[in-house]
Structures are given as structure tokens and as C-alpha cells.
Amino acid sequence: MKKIGVYPGTFDPITYGHIDVIERSLKIVDKVIIAVSEFKRKDFLFTIEERIDLIKEVFKNNESVNVESFDGLLVDYLKKKNAKIIIRGLRAISDFDYEFQMVLINRKLNKDMETIFLMPREEYFYISSSIVKEIAKLNGDVSCFVPKNVEQALRKKFQGG
């Protein structure tokens, strides 16, 4: 049976840090489902469709990666996908506190789920979608943080082309 990992997030937008975590998780699982959250907890720059399209373009040549949207509880989504592994990226101690809470809650909701944490490589450790959006909004160069298609989409959002 294939090991399926689910990497949930908002991916607004996807960065090289996310991509690194996804690629490295494929050394542990056979398939990764990138589960793009529809949860309206915050304002998004990109629509759910735009975020999915950007990610699909990045992984278009990788059959081990699927991209889908999800809404609701993550544990319910994993059950629906017959997956038992949650993949999470960690950058800093501040991430760990929140992630630790989520692991305990998810474990309480479904004891069969496991969470694995992966740290991105050092050159991506400090990247966040929020910082990338801020740099792009101020007309800065984000080419070292995101793939070309994401860079172009950011430029279009902020500079109109």
C-alpha cells in the first residue's frame, strides 16, 4: 500500500521553502497531496483557483504530487483520502508552538494520524509567503524566493503586468 502524505496550507503563494519540504517529503512517502486550504481565516492575495493553478504548474512533471483544495477539519480530509501522514514545514521555534498544539489536537481527533516535520534547507529557512508578498508589493525582486510563474503572478497582482 502506498504511503500518502498530506501537506496542508494556504500557499498564498507557494515558495521555494514549501517546494523544498514537498520534494524532501517524497523521500518518506510515495505520494504527496498538497491540500490548499479554503478556510476563510485570513484575506488571501490569490483566489483558491489561482493558488491551485500556480502549484499545479510547479509540479506539472511530478506524478507523485497532487494538488487539491480542502475545507473543514484536516483529519476528516485525511480520512477521505485514505492518508495517515500530515506533512508540516518548520522554520523557527515560533512555528513549533503552534504546530505542537495542532499535532496534539489532531491526535486527539484521530489517533491513527501521524505528523512529520521537515525543515527547509538553510537557504529557504527564512522565507514566508507574507514576506514574499510584501517584497513584491514594494516592487522588489522575489525571483530567489518563488518560481517564475509565481513571480509573474505576483507582479501582475501588484503592478498590473
Task: Please give the share of the chain, as a percent, with pLDDT higher than 90.
Answer: 78
Q: Provide the pLDDT for residue 96.
A: 80
Task: Please give the share of the chain, as a percent, with pLDDT higher than 70.
Answer: 97
Mean pLDDT, residues 138-151 taken together? 97
pLDDT tens track for 101-128: 898 999 999 999 999 999 999 898 889 9
CA–CA separation, 141 vs 66, rounded Å?
29
Mean pLDDT, residues 26-44 taken together? 91
CA–CA separation, 101 vs 121, rounded Å?
24
The DSSP string of the chain is ---EEEEEE--TT--HHHHHHHHHHTTT-SEEEEEEE--TTS--SS-HHHHHHHHHHHTTT-TTEEEEEE-S-HHHHHHHTT--EEEEE--SHHHHHHHHHHHHHHHHH-TT-EEEEEPPPGGGTT--HHHHHHHHHTT---TTTS-HHHHHHHHHHHH--
Known catalytic residues are 18, 42, 91, 129
Residue 94 pLDDT exceeds 80: no
Residue 161 pLDDT exceeds 70: no
Confidence of residue 64 (pLDDT cuts 50, 70, 90): very high
Of the listed ranges 33-42, 47-56, 139-148, the least confidently predicted one is 33-42
Q: Provide the pLDDT for residue 159.
A: 83
Q: Provide the pLDDT for residue 132.
A: 96
Q: Write down all domains in the chain, each with its CATH number in brackets.
A: 4-125 (3.40.50.620)
